[in-house]
């Protein structure tokens, strides 16, 4: 719904009393369009969501009309009457999300159009969400206090970089479908009280669900027997009795019990539903796996031909055959059910509804399979894919879409210009190296020096030995002292060794610098006065932090070295920002010299 | 790509080729040129199948006048489908380059059960009922009756196929079983009979081993193949066992009881015919005087399994006089059944050679050797005369006649073993009389004699000099290829101890030790938490697997394993196993990961590939020795020692190790693939065992990996998986080339390639 469009039958009313023009309301992301059924009618509407400020609606009630009132920011409003409340609600929600997204779009757009943003209209929900986020995250709160309350950033600017945070919270679905557990939970051991022969089984809804999913015969029996023939408790008692008989592996005893008790026999016998399902599924199995076909082709193993193999000996009388069941089969069945995943969407409390829902889902599956014709084709494609040897053949279809550039020269020229510009931006002041050496000259000199080195060898070392030694010593000292300070525990971070106050201070500076720099760099290139003032403010805030950092770095303590190591990159980042700011300012003033009325 | 090997232009459907594939083709070509048999071992995962198909079809294309035809034998139907899949790829490529000149017909052939499209027939439970169901509708006498009486049901597909007569042909192309069925449905022709008919004209036929090796089947399917045909046995490391099984029969009490019922039924039928249509029986008598050679002229719908020995000489002789009459033949069979019943009553294990056994039959019930030899064909003739269509009801008497014919034909290489009970369950009387064949060369001999080139190939044929002895033939080329790897993409390890340093083994005295079971369980548990996607475990037998899984379940190890991966298990029910495999693949595809428990020598180990993410690790729990107390095995070992001077221990180790190698070899499909193999038994660290592994595994088995404990193995696995996840250069970089392009091939030419490689 959110990504598509909504089409509903509705009446357009100019006022509430108006009888309305019947027609079709189509809503897409950007706009809503109303087309009257009578083509000659003039009540055609085309409203962009951008211009819509809000919406109102009537409460659901028996004698009220399902109305939706959309308010435009110029003051106009449109009233639609729907045939039913569900229809209206669908549209209402759509309008709400559409308005929200257009507000967002407007926000980013408005930054560009330099409209001051403090008059932003916030829904209460939005506000609450932000407050909640701030409450949850103390660090965020600190930043918010420092910058927004300190009037360095506006509220919108602060949140604009955290759009994701807001979105995620909003779009996260509370309900997630839970898969089945890999465990065979119904394979529970009974608890016994140790004195009598009595054992107790604890059944949870989850266990019952698993039993029903894996043993359709039990499910069917439940639907048939409970509660007409027996109570739920009796049913499960019988079930566990049958399980017990299986676990003893005494097939003859099981057969004897089954002969006496026909309900018990249901649990003891082979699961017919499963057998049928297997027969159905075997037909759609990958032929490169189909061992059943193989058996059909095996003339060596005619009955009594060939050599007896391991395990094939325990043939038994056919009257007991149907009571045979192995744990291995249960394992296979369990894994298959887990793989299929949870098929039903019912609360697990009510046993009967679970059983019914499972039975229904099986029928749906059957119907789907019957109608699904192209499974076969898919299977064949798969086989032919599998037949190929992967590395002898260059991969067929690349998953990556090829880059399509209409005019390559145009594209690369512009790229080059961009690169040059940024180069100029960051290294403003340093001159570009220009050389008027021709290629042949350069080549000649290079060759000369190479042949010289070849002839003479590298006589003079590139670095003077004493300098090299000094650098090496300096570096080693640093490393060894750090090692000494940090100790042998590699997991301990440098921060943990610092006194708490220093650490907190450092972290605070770090986060605030990050925040500021993020805003700072995202404001370039400066195209509007709004950005210009913003950058100014940011620069001021940063230059306030700068001396603090320097103090921290220079403060005398045992950890001076570590602290300075940590502070150094921050200072460098700030220096880079200042340099860029200054360069930009110079460029700007130079430009404004030519163009005095530039902003 | 397209390249020359000597005078043959080879069409290969990929842009690149492995050097060993090229070398393989060169050797194969030499064998074809020499018109002799060959034996080629090439590691799995180097594309044997496509190399074979590509060379032989190209060879046939380059010599259009020769009658070279490819009979490609696979062990299983699903391998057949895989082979045909690769053939399709190749055919498409050849068509692209040669156009209509590359028109070939290739088809797979299987039983009615897998090809029938008549819903009323194919829904039957097993193959024999499908066969019988088909016969009930298509036998010549049924159809003759149906002409007069429209109420008698016939098979519409068969009728339409017959009506189309010579027009019923398959257009050139590659047909898998599924394609055949689809084609049959579209045209309304019976795919089974169409395929059987088209086999004579096809350029490539893919079918199961038994269609050539088992005389019962070969007699009707493969009798019209030209001598120039090239026969390929792929995955042939077990070929000796297939041969032996094709000629072995066992008789139980149930068989004899069933046979008696069959004989009663036949007596009734004979009586009925005597009263109504005595002329039929007389006609049969006259026919039998001339011998059994009429079989070739039977309508196609009437044939069924043929004589269990290749009947060339039998067909030309007249049937002995005293069994030409139907009643006397039935009474002779009764006497035979009675005699066998008496033999089953024994309380001790008995072992006899065929000569002594036939002598005793002759002495006690007066049936001589020559008569015994004719039993199967005489029965066949009788059943046709009696117009019996429900052949699935008469399997028991067929078994008895099979037995009689075999025992009457061969004087050596067989033994008859009568066991009153299975020694694993001595308290349950279950007498069985087994005629077991020990000499694999008997069944394959006619194949070597009839066809000029027989190619035997597999990933594991080590030691390669043993096979010519076992099968009694002289290959012109016998070669074992190594594998040139771009990176060390296989990582075999021998695990001898658990984390607690106690040895692990499936040796008889350690097998059920709880410590060993626990150590095996912990090994798997550690591995499932480290290895992504699919893991395959092989156990030495069903009963061992059943025991250990139950024990893991009780100790809670299984539960922990299931927290990491889903567990699927091979059971003795093929339908269930197939579905489990299908689900296993799904679980690997969707990223959930799974473990598959399987059995060495089982159906899964025989032909299911666990390549790529379907198998990143194989664990072989124990050494899969055969059940050494089995009398059949003991008799075979004795025969091998006396005839071929092969020591018992050597043969058992060879057999166990080829199974183990086969199991672990299923993880690799190409050089881009990778996988680990763990041999979890302390006995693998012994040199005499380990050295029997094929060279391509041994060459990657580092000395440091020979005696590992669980924790060390986990560490190695982690390292290996991390290494394999890195990108690499597929062509092998600067050193040895492991992937050749067309230019590479042209550059090095034919001659020097081999030297560059090895």
Instruction: Name the minimum distance, in Å, from the CA of A303 to any CA of chain B.
Output: 8
CA-to-CA distance for B357 and B433, rounded, in angstroms?
A: 12
* Average pLDDT rounded to a whole number, residues B526-538: 94
Q: What pLDDT, on a 0 to 100 scale, did the predictor assign at position A114?
A: 37
The answer to whether the beta carbons of residues B470 and B240 sit under 8 Å apart is yes
CB contact under 8 A, A291 and B572: no
Work out the pLDDT band at B306, boundaries 50, 70, 90: low
What tokens does A321 get? 């055959």
On the question of pLDDT at B43 being above 80, the answer is yes
Work out the pLDDT band at A115, boundaries 50, 70, 90: very low
On the question of pLDDT at B128 being above 90, the answer is no
Work out the pLDDT band at A432, boundaries 50, 70, 90: very low
CA-to-CA distance for B555 and B566, rounded, in angstroms?
A: 18
* Average pLDDT rounded to a whole number, residues A333-358: 78
**Per-residue pLDDT tens digits for A357-408:** 888 887 877 777 666 656 667 777 776 666 677 777 765 555 555 566 666 6
Evaluated on CA atoms B553, B559, B560, B565, the torsion sign reads: positive
On the question of pLDDT at B16 being above 60, the answer is yes
CB atoms within 10 A of CB B652: 16
Q: Which 3-state string (H, E, C) describes B220-272?
A: HHCCCCCCCCEEEECCHHHHHHHHHHHCCEEEEHHHHHHHHHHHHHHHHHHHH
- Interstrand relation of B708-709 and B740-741 (parallel, antiparallel or unpaired): unpaired
Q: Which residues contact A520 (CB under 8 A, 6 or more apart)?
A: A535, A538, A539, A542, A577
CB atoms within 10 A of CB B403: 27
Beta bridge partners of B494: B679
To the nearest whole percent, how much of chain B has pLDDT over 70? 93
Instruction: Name the minimum distance, in Å, from the CA of B543 to any CA of chain A.
Output: 7
Mean pLDDT of chain B: 86
Q: What pLDDT, on a 0 to 100 scale, did the predictor assign at position B302?
A: 58
SS3 of residue A183 by DSSP: coil
On the question of pLDDT at B526 being above 60, the answer is yes
**Per-residue pLDDT tens digits for A372-384:** 656 667 777 776 6
CA-to-CA distance for A441 and A393, rounded, in angstroms?
A: 48
What tokens does B656 get? 């166990």
On the question of pLDDT at B168 being above 60, the answer is yes
The answer to whether the beta carbons of residues B123 and B101 sit under 8 Å apart is no
CB contact under 8 A, A303 and B395: yes
Residue B541 with chain A: CB contacts under 8 Å? 310-311
- Of all residues in chain B, the one with the smallest CA distance to A247 is B550
Residue A287 with chain B: CB contacts under 8 Å? 77-78, 81, 176-178
Q: What pLDDT, on a 0 to 100 scale, did the predictor assign at position A596?
A: 45
CB contact under 8 A, B85 and A387: yes
- Of all residues in chain A, the one with the smallest CA distance to B576 is A278
What tokens does A56 get? 């109102």
Work out the pLDDT band at B317, boundaries 50, 70, 90: low
On the question of pLDDT at B495 being above 90, the answer is yes
Q: Which of A165-174, A391-400, B69-78, B286-295 has the lowest mean pLDDT?
A: A165-174
Work out the pLDDT band at B123, boundaries 50, 70, 90: confident
> What is the DSSP track for B86-127?
HHHHHHHHHHHHHGGGG--EEEE---HHHH---HHHHTSSSH
**Per-residue pLDDT tens digits for B403-425:** 998 898 888 889 999 988 877 67
On the question of pLDDT at A312 being above 50, the answer is no
On the question of pLDDT at A598 being above 60, the answer is no
Q: What pLDDT, on a 0 to 100 scale, did the predictor assign at position B498?
A: 92
Instruction: Name the minimum distance, in Å, from the CA of A375 to any CA of chain B.
Output: 14
On the question of pLDDT at B459 being above 60, the answer is yes
**Per-residue pLDDT tens digits for B702-736:** 999 999 999 999 999 999 999 998 887 776 655 66
Q: Which of B204, B163, B195 is nearest to B177 (CA)?
A: B195
Q: What pLDDT, on a 0 to 100 scale, did the predictor assign at position A242?
A: 83
- Interstrand relation of B16-17 and B38-41 (parallel, antiparallel or unpaired): unpaired
CB contact under 8 A, A339 and B587: yes
SS3 of residue A378 by DSSP: helix
CA-to-CA distance for A68 and B247, rounded, in angstroms?
A: 86
Q: What pLDDT, on a 0 to 100 scale, did the predictor assign at position A315?
A: 45
**Per-residue pLDDT tens digits for B269-283:** 899 888 888 887 888
What tokens does B80 get? 């057949």
Interface test with A, best of B217, B576, B629 (most A CBs within 10 A): B576
Instruction: Name the minimum distance, in Å, from the CA of B429 to any CA of chain A.
Output: 13
* Average pLDDT rounded to a whole number, residues B110-119: 89
Instruction: Name the minimum distance, in Å, from the CA of A3 to any CA of chain B.
Output: 27
CB contact under 8 A, A289 and B244: no
* Average pLDDT rounded to a whole number, residues B111-131: 85
Q: What pLDDT, on a 0 to 100 scale, did the predictor assign at position A495?
A: 65
* Average pLDDT rounded to a whole number, residues B323-349: 90
Q: Which of A35-44, A158-167, B576-585 has the lowest mean pLDDT?
A: A158-167
The answer to whether the beta carbons of residues B667 and B677 sit under 8 Å apart is yes
On the question of pLDDT at B755 being above 50, the answer is no
Work out the pLDDT band at B305, boundaries 50, 70, 90: low
Q: Which residues contact A111 (CB under 8 A, 6 or more apart)?
A: A117, A160, A530
Q: What pLDDT, on a 0 to 100 scale, did the predictor assign at position B389?
A: 82
Q: What pLDDT, on a 0 to 100 scale, did the predictor assign at position A227?
A: 78
Q: Which residues contact B74 (CB under 8 A, 6 or more apart)?
A: B80, B83, B206, B207, B208, B209, B234, B235, B607
* Average pLDDT rounded to a whole number, residues B441-459: 90
SS3 of residue A408 by DSSP: helix
Q: What pLDDT, on a 0 to 100 scale, did the predictor assign at position A436?
A: 61
Integer distance in angstroms from the first to the last C-alpha of chain A?
Answer: 45
The answer to whether the beta carbons of residues B403 and B248 sit under 8 Å apart is no
CB atoms within 10 A of CB B77: 29
Instruction: Name the minimum distance, in Å, from the CA of B112 to any CA of chain A.
Output: 8
CB contact under 8 A, A332 and B217: no
CA-to-CA distance for B709 and A580, rounded, in angstroms?
A: 61
Q: pLDDT: is B313 or A95 the higher one?
A: A95
The answer to whether the beta carbons of residues A100 and A29 sit under 8 Å apart is no
Q: How many residues does chain A have?
A: 599
The answer to whether the beta carbons of residues B16 and B740 sit under 8 Å apart is yes
| Owner of token pair 């000629």 | B247
The answer to whether the beta carbons of residues A70 and A55 sit under 8 Å apart is yes
CA-to-CA distance for B530 and B491, rounded, in angstroms?
A: 15
**Per-residue pLDDT tens digits for A486-544:** 444 444 556 666 777 777 888 888 888 888 888 888 877 777 788 888 888 888 888 88
Beta bridge partners of B8: B5
On the question of pLDDT at A172 being above 50, the answer is no
CA-to-CA distance for B122 and B114, rounded, in angstroms?
A: 8
- Of all residues in chain A, the one with the smallest CA distance to B672 is A391
CA-to-CA distance for A219 and A201, rounded, in angstroms?
A: 18
CA-to-CA distance for B621 and B615, rounded, in angstroms?
A: 16
Q: What pLDDT, on a 0 to 100 scale, did the predictor assign at position B356?
A: 93
Work out the pLDDT band at B623, boundaries 50, 70, 90: very high
Q: pLDDT: is A545 or A431 the higher one?
A: A545
Q: What pLDDT, on a 0 to 100 scale, did the predictor assign at position B682?
A: 93
**Per-residue pLDDT tens digits for B205-256:** 999 888 888 877 777 676 777 888 899 999 898 899 889 888 888 888 888 9
CB contact under 8 A, B81 and A294: no
pTM listed for this prediction:
0.71
Residue B587 with chain A: CB contacts under 8 Å? 335, 339
Work out the pLDDT band at A310, boundaries 50, 70, 90: very low
What's the CA angle centered on B630, arms B629 and B633, to 5 degrees? 110
Q: What pLDDT, on a 0 to 100 scale, did the predictor assign at position A108?
A: 44
**Per-residue pLDDT tens digits for B55-65:** 999 998 888 77
CB contact under 8 A, B579 and A285: yes
Q: What pLDDT, on a 0 to 100 scale, did the predictor assign at position B678?
A: 95
Q: Which residues contact A205 (CB under 8 A, 6 or more apart)?
A: A348, A349, A351, A354
SS3 of residue B479 by DSSP: strand
On the question of pLDDT at A592 being above 50, the answer is yes
On the question of pLDDT at A136 being above 60, the answer is yes
Partner residue facing B248 (CB), from A279, A306, A386: A306
Q: What pLDDT, on a 0 to 100 scale, did the predictor assign at position A555?
A: 75
CA-to-CA distance for A567 and A236, rounded, in angstroms?
A: 70
Q: What pLDDT, on a 0 to 100 scale, did the predictor assign at position A119?
A: 45
Mean pLDDT of chain A: 72
Work out the pLDDT band at A192, boundaries 50, 70, 90: low
What tokens does A581 get? 């700011």
Instruction: Name the minimum distance, in Å, from the CA of A340 to any CA of chain B.
Output: 9
> What is the DSSP track for B633-697?
HHHHHHHHHHHH---HHHHHHHHHHHHHHHHHGGG--STT--EEEEEESGGGGSHHHHTTS-HHH
CB contact under 8 A, B579 and A281: yes
Residue B85 with chain A: CB contacts under 8 Å? 288, 383-384, 386-387
Q: pLDDT: is A241 or A417 the higher one?
A: A241
CA-to-CA distance for B97 and B57, rounded, in angstroms?
A: 14
């Amino acid at each position: 719904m959110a990504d598509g469009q909504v089409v509903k039958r509705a009446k357009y009313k100019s006022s509430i009393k108006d009888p309305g023009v019947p027609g079709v309301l189509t809503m897409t992301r950007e706009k809503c369009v109303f087309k009257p059924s009578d083509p000659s009618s003039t009540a055609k509407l085309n409203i962009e969501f951008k211009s819509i400020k809000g919406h109102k609606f009537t409460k659901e009630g028996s004698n009220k009309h399902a109305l939706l009132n959309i308010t435009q920011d110029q003051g106009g409003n449109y009233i639609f009457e729907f045939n039913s409340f569900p229809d209206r609600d669908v549209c209402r929600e759509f309008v709400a999300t559409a308005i929200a997204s257009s507000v967002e779009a407007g926000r980013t757009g408005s930054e560009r159009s330099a409209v001051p943003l403090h008059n932003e209209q916030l829904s209460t929900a939005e506000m609450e969400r932000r407050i909640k986020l701030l409450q949850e995250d103390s660090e965020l709160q600190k930043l918010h206090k420092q910058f927004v309350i300190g009037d360095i950033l506006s509220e919108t600017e602060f949140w604009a970089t955290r759009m994701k945070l807001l979105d995620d919270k909003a779009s996260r679905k509370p309900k997630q479908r839970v898969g089945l557990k890999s465990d065979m939970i119904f394979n529970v051991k009974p608890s016994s009280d140790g004195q009598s022969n009595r054992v107790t089984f604890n059944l949870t809804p989850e266990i019952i669900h698993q039993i029903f999913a894996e043993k359709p015969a039990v499910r069917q029996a439940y639907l048939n027997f409970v509660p007409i023939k027996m109570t739920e408790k009796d049913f499960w008692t019988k079930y566990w009795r049958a399980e017990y008989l299986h676990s003893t592996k005494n097939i003859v005893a099981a057969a004897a019990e089954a002969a006496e008790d026909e309900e018990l026999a249901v649990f003891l016998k082979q699961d017919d539903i499963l057998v049928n399902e297997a027969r159905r599924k075997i037909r759609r199995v990958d032929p490169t796996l189909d061992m059943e076909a193989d058996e059909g082709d095996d003339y060596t193993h005619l009955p009594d031909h060939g050599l007896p193999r391991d395990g094939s000996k325990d043939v038994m009388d056919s009257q007991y055959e149907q009571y045979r069941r192995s744990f291995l089969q249960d394992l296979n069945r369990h894994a298959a059910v887990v793989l299929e995943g949870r098929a039903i969407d019912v609360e697990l409390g009510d046993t009967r509804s679970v059983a019914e829902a499972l039975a229904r889902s099986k029928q749906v599956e059957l119907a789907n399979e019957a109608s699904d014709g192209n499974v076969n084709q898919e299977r064949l494609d798969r086989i032919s894919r599998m037949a190929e040897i992967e590395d002898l053949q260059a991969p067929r279809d690349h998953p990556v879409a090829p880059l399509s550039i209409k005019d390559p020269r145009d594209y690369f020229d512009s790229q080059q210009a961009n690169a040059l510009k940024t180069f100029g931006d960051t290294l403003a002041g340093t001159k570009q190296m220009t050389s008027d050496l021709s290629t042949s000259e350069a080549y000649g000199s290079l060759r000369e020096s190479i042949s010289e080195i070849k002839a003479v060898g590298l006589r003079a070392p590139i670095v003077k030995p004493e300098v090299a030694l000094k650098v090496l010593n300096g570096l080693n000292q640093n490393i060894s002292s750090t090692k000494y300070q940090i100790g042998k525990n590699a997991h301990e971070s440098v921060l943990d060794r610092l006194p708490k106050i220093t650490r907190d201070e450092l972290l605070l500076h770090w986060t605030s610098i990050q925040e500021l720099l993020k805003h700072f760099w995202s404001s370039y290139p400066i195209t509007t006065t709004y950005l210009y003032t913003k950058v100014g403010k940011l620069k001021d805030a940063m230059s306030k932090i700068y001396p603090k950092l320097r103090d921290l770095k220079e403060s005398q303590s045992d950890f001076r070295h570590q602290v300075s190591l940590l502070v150094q990159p921050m200072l460098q980042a700030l220096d880079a920002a200042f340099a860029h700011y200054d360069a930009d300012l110079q460029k700007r003033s130079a430009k404004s010299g030519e163009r005095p009325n530039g902003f | 790509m397209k390249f020359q090997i000597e005078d043959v232009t080879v069409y290969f459907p990929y842009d690149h080729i492995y050097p060993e594939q090229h070398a393989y083709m060169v050797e194969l070509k030499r064998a074809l040129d020499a018109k002799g048999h060959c034996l080629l071992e090439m590691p799995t995962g180097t594309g044997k199948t496509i190399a074979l198909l590509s060379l032989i079809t190209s060879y046939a294309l380059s010599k259009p006048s020769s009658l070279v035809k490819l009979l490609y034998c696979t062990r299983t139907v699903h391998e057949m489908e895989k082979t045909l899949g690769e053939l399709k790829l190749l055919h498409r490529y050849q068509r692209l380059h040669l156009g209509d000149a590359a028109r070939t017909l290739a088809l797979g052939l299987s039983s009615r059960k897998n090809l029938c499209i008549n819903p009323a027939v194919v829904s039957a439970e097993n193959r024999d009922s499908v066969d019988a169901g088909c016969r009930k509708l298509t036998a010549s006498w049924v159809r003759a009756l149906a002409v007069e009486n429209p109420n008698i049901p016939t098979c519409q597909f068969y009728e339409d196929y017959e009506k189309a007569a010579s027009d019923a042909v398959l257009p050139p192309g590659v047909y898998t079983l599924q394609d055949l069925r689809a084609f049959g449905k579209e045209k309304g022709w019976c795919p089974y009979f169409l395929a059987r008919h088209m086999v004579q004209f096809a350029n490539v036929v893919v079918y199961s081993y038994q269609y050539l090796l088992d005389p019962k089947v070969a007699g009707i399917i493969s009798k019209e193949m030209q001598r120039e045909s090239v026969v390929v046995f792929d995955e042939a490391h077990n070929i000796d066992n297939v041969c032996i099984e094709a000629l072995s029969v066992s008789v139980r009490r149930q068989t004899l009881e069933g046979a008696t019922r069959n004989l009663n039924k036949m007596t009734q039928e004979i009586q009925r015919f005597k009263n109504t249509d005595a002329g039929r029986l007389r006609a049969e008598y006259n026919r039998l005087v001339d011998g059994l050679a009429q079989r070739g002229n039977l309508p196609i719908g009437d044939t069924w399994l043929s004589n269990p020995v290749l009947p060339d000489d039998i067909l030309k002789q007249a049937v002995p006089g005293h069994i030409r009459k139907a009643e006397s033949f039935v009474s002779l069979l009764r006497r035979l059944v009675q005699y066998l019943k008496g033999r089953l009553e024994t309380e001790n294990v008995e072992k006899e050679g065929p000569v002594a056994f036939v002598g005793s039959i002759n002495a006690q019930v007066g049936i001589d050797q020559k008569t015994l030899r004719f039993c199967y064909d005489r029965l066949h003739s009788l059943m046709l005369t009696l117009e019996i269509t429900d052949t699935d009801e008469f399997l028991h008497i067929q078994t008895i006649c099979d037995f009689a014919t075999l025992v009457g034909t061969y004087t050596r290489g067989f033994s008859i073993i009568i066991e009153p009970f299975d020694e694993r369950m001595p308290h349950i009387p279950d007498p069985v009389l087994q005629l077991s064949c020990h000499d694999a060369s008997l069944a394959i001999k006619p194949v070597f004699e009839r066809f000029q080139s027989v190619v035997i190939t597999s990933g594991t044929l080590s030691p390669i000099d043993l096979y010519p002895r076992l099968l009694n033939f002289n290959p012109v080329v016998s070669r074992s290829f190594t594998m040139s790897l771009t990176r060390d993409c296989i990582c075999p390890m021998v695990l001898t101890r658990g984390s607690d340093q106690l040895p692990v083994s499936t040796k008889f005295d350690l097998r059920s030790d709880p410590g060993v079971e626990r150590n095996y369980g912990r090994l798997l548990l550690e591995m499932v938490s480290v290895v992504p996607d699919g893991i395959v475990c092989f156990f030495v037998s069903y009963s061992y697997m059943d025991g250990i899984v139950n024990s893991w379940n009780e100790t809670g190890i299984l539960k922990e394993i299931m927290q990491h991966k889903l567990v699927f298990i091979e059971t003795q029910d093929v339908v269930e196993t197939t579905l489990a495999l299908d689900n296993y693949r799904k679980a690997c595809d969707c990223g959930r990961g799974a473990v598959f428990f399987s059995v060495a020598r089982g159906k899964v180990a025989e032909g299911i590939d666990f390549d790529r993410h379907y198998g990143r690790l194989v664990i072989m729990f124990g050494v899969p020795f055969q059940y050494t107390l089995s009398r059949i095995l003991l008799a075979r070992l004795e025969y091998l020692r006396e005839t071929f001077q092969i020591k018992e221990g050597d043969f058992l180790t060879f057999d166990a190790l080829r199974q183990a190698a086969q199991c672990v070899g299923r993880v690799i499909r190409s050089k881009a693939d990778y996988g680990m193999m763990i041999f979890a038994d302390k006995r693998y660290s012994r040199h005499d065992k380990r050295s029997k592994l094929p060279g391509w595994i041994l060459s990657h088995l580092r000395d440091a990996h020979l005696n590992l404990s669980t924790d060390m193995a986990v560490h190695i696995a982690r390292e290996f998986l991390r290494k394999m996840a890195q990108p690499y250069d597929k062509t092998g970089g600067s050193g040895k080339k492991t992937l050749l392009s067309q230019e590479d091939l042209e550059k090095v030419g034919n001659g020097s390639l081999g030297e560059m490689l090895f």
